């Protein structure tokens, strides 16, 4: 893989589209699972992905338009930490129940495969914060929508959403449009 050949976001998108593996009928029949492992297995591909995800971050001139980034357990952590470091903003972990200490906020949501919950430590999101939500994949919008609800419960603002992949044939983007304008929902790839 020649990193020098990837000079635009379009080059990155073509490369990722070719490299990301799809597993049909997993974890259940009818689901075509897009596997982020394809990116992680090749360090050069992960570097390129991280670089172009950073290009999608909401900013005006040199100033970022968010002051915290919320990322999901576990795949959202992988590139979310790179985004937090690049923007010099705190990263907040959204995790499954029973994984976080202290006072927490829980939000139940519907996923592609049934009901689920995420939790965030309550003291990390405050009124006036502008929180960017990052995950690897936008599908039905359940996980990201649950994070948006937690942010609103804390009196903070949703700065936008950032994903590696958007499965545009699923309703996720429409779900998130109830929280922000479509221009604030960014994905490196659309399938």
**Residues with active-site annotation:** 75, 112
Written as six digits, the tokens of 187 are 């994905």
C-beta atoms surrounding 70 within 10 Å: 31
Task: For residues 176 and 142, give the distance between their C-alpha atoms in angstroms, rounded to a whole number.
Answer: 9
Rg over alpha carbons for the chain, rounded to the nearest Å, is 16
Report the DSSP beta bridge partners of residue 135. 163
**DSSP codes, 139-187:** SSSHHHHHHHHHHHHTT-EEEEEEEEEE-TTSTHHHHHTTTS-GGGEEE
C-beta atoms surrounding 85 within 10 Å: 13
Written as six digits, the tokens of 190 are 């659309």
Residue 78 near residue 40 (C-beta atoms within 8 A): yes
Task: For residues 7 and 1, give the distance between their C-alpha atoms in angstroms, rounded to a whole number.
Answer: 13
Residue 134 near residue 79 (C-beta atoms within 8 A): yes
């Amino acid at each position: 893989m020649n990193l020098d050949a990837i000079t635009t976001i379009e080059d990155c998108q073509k490369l990722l589209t070719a490299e990301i593996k799809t597993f049909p009928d997993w974890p259940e029949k009818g689901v075509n699972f897009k596997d982020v492992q394809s990116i992680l297995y090749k360090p050069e591909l992960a570097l390129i992905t991280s670089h172009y995800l950073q290009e999608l971050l909401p900013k005006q001139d040199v100033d970022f338009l968010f002051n915290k980034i919320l990322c999901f357990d576990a795949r959202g952590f992988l590139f979310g930490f790179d985004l937090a470091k690049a923007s010099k903003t705190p990263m907040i972990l959204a995790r499954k129940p029973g994984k976080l200490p202290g006072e927490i906020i829980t939000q139940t949501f519907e996923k592609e495969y049934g009901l689920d919950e995420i939790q965030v430590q309550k003291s990390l999101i405050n009124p006036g914060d502008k929180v960017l939500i990052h995950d690897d994949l936008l599908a039905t919008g359940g996980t990201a929508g649950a994070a948006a609800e937690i942010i609103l419960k804390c009196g903070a603002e949703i700065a936008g959403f950032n994903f590696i992949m958007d499965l545009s044939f699923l309703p996720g983007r429409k779900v998130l449009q109830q929280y922000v304008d479509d221009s604030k929902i960014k994905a490196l790839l659309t399938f």
